[in-house]
Amino acid sequence: MSETDVAKEVARALSTSVNVPDSIRAEVHGHAVVLIGEAEWDYQRAAARRAVQVLPGVLSVDNRVTLTARPSAPDARERIARAIARNALLDSDSIHVAVTGTTVTLTGSVRSWAARRQAAQAAWASPHVTAVDNRLAVSI
């Protein structure tokens, strides 16, 4: 498959994916795809990666999509901590949330990889978050 064919397939995949905004584009270099642009939410950035990583001819994906800048919120830490406490999969006493600007850092331990993902999703769900540093340890 030629670079031109890969580029056409990547463009088609991005344009037909409902969760990928028009602001996300791709550069194709050989069989490597570089995603660029800006998205409102992390799930949109992840959707762009998923849309192209499985295409024939794509050997690697470098996701450089950034999130739209958002103002920080003074109560973001409390909101995220409450969201974690509401999640039945998570033991909120063992998860510590720190917020610096619009970056959330999760530390502590959880009982499974699924719980680790759930905690990160709770942090990403905050409209004031542009980055999540998930340092949760999985202790089985």
| Cα–Cα nearest to 37, from 68, 14, 66, 70 | 66
Q: How confident is the model at residue 18 (pLDDT cuts 50, 70, 90)?
A: very high
Pull the structure tokens for residue 138: 């999985």
Quick one: pLDDT at residue 36? 96
Q: Write out the H or E segment, with its range, that includes residue 53.
A: helix 42-53
Output the pTM of the full model: 0.71
Print burial letters for 114-134: b (CB count within 10 Å at least 16), e (below 16).
Answer: ebbebbbebbbebebbbebee
Quick one: pLDDT at residue 73? 82
98-131 confidence digits (pLDDT tens)? 999 889 999 999 999 999 999 999 999 888 888 9
- Statement: residue 47 has pLDDT above 90: yes
Q: Which residue shows structure tokens 């959707």?
A: 47
Q: CA 131, 137, 140 angle in degrees (round to 5)?
A: 140
Q: Which residues pair with 106 in a beta bridge?
A: 97, 134
Number of H helices, E strands in the chain: 4, 8
Strands (DSSP E) contained in 46-102 are: 60-63, 66-67, 95-100
Share of residues in the chain with pLDDT > 90 (%): 73
Quick one: pLDDT at residue 1? 80
- d(C-alpha 23, C-alpha 4), whole Å: 21
Distance of CA 6 to the CA centre of its chain: 24
Segment 12-32 shows an average pLDDT of 94
